[in-house]
Amino acid sequence: MRLSTGGTPALAGDGLFNELALELFHLQYERNAVLRRWARAHGVGPASIRHWTQITAIPTAAFKETDMTVLPDSERSTVFLSSGTTLRNSSRHYHNADSLAVYEASLWPWFSTHLLPASAPALDLLVLTPSANEAPHSSLVHMFETIGRKHRPLRSLFAARAGQTGVWHLDLGLALRFLEESVGMGRPLLVLGTAFMFVHLVDGLAERKIQIALPDGTRVLETGGYKGRSRTLEKAELHRLISDYLGVPSSHIVCEYGMAELSSQGYDRVVGSPTRGFRFPPWARMQVVSPETGLEVEPGEPGLIRVFDLANIYSSLAVQTEDLAIRSAEGCELIGRAPETEARGCSLLAV
């Protein structure tokens, strides 16, 4: 398998996507025993399908239960964990130098399409996560590092620290100083972070009774759930607080959807555009499927997100997530995650 990582793949129509997806599925089927058994159990093989929608999606649980990779041990130079911290109960997505290069080549153009369209000014970069040194197994941090490297801002800061248990703590003082300096210089920012880190940031500002008006052109990328790491807010409420405390209008808050098990991401708007709806890049496809039938739901109906990601080369290109969304004309609207599906040792929550 030769990987080319130069430039942005241009996949204009479904035909080329279909061709590449079937070819990649064939390779993965041949080399990944777990994937092959899964496909066979569903009566699917490379010879029996003609369209990418027929490829059996591997559940994210497979990344927890097995080593969902064709890479031999010796080539697994990087592993991304779903919690970003611990091997226990985490999905594991293995990479080598090649697949990391694909990961980076995949993330950058779609990120810049949505956050840094042509008119974007020079931006300072504030990231509300630890750096990759401190969080080497977080695919999100790797993505933010990559963005930092490609965007080459004049000033940048990773404003969180990973504690001994792997829990992330925002260094509020540091973040505030950085924000105030940008304001002082009149420089707009690119602020990247998880939902729970934004909660910590706005809570910290509220506590200090500080409201900041970040310079025009500032944009925010917010991603991920809460995982019990802060109080949980409705998305609209979080965005309102970000607008109130950082002076960034809702139109400049972009939501990202990604996970350790994927190599491409979805974004719900181009910064500044009026409507939202998650869309994946041309080298990926997203479906919202009924948990009852596994078939794609009608627009307006809720279901589980399924992603077909050509950048997932060494694992599985088709991934069945546990995230719920409503299919919409613009893509989909996230509504949450299926209740805990831990297979053993779960709490009494379902009783």
Return the closest-CA partner of residue 176 out of 144, 201, 193, 141: 201
Binding residues (CB under 8 A) for another protein: these are: 33-34, 37-38, 40-41, 59, 61-62, 65-66, 290-294, 302-304, 320, 322, 324, 336, 338-341, 343-344, 346, 348, 350-351
At its nearest, how many Å lie between another protein and the CB of residue 163? 27
Sort strands 156-158 and 253-257 into parallel, antiparallel or unpaired. unpaired
At its nearest, how many Å lie between another protein and the CB of residue 197? 26
Q: Report the residue number, 146 or 312, with the smaller CB distance to another protein.
A: 312
Q: Report the residue number, 171 or 322, with the smaller CB distance to another protein.
A: 322
At its nearest, how many Å lie between another protein and the CB of residue 204? 27
Return the closest-CA partner of residue 128 out of 204, 236, 188: 204
Gap between the Cα atoms of 181 and 271, Å rounded = 23
With a CB cutoff of 8 Å and minimum separation 6, the contacts of 216 are: 188
Return the closest-CA partner of residue 235 out of 248, 219, 254: 254
At its nearest, how many Å lie between another protein and the CB of residue 167? 23
Q: Report the residue number, 272 or 294, with the smaller CB distance to another protein.
A: 294
Gap between the Cα atoms of 326 and 323, Å rounded = 10
At its nearest, how many Å lie between another protein and the CB of residue 291? 4
How many angstroms separate the Cα of 181 from the Cα of each of 177, 187, 214? 6, 9, 10
- Residues 121 and 217: beta-carbon distance below 8 Å: yes
At its nearest, how many Å lie between another protein and the CB of residue 346? 5
Q: Report the residue number, 6 or 300, with the smaller CB distance to another protein.
A: 300
Q: Report the residue number, 112 or 290, with the smaller CB distance to another protein.
A: 290
Q: Report the residue number, 207 or 234, with the smaller CB distance to another protein.
A: 234
How many angstroms separate the Cα of 172 from the Cα of each of 160, 198, 225? 8, 11, 20
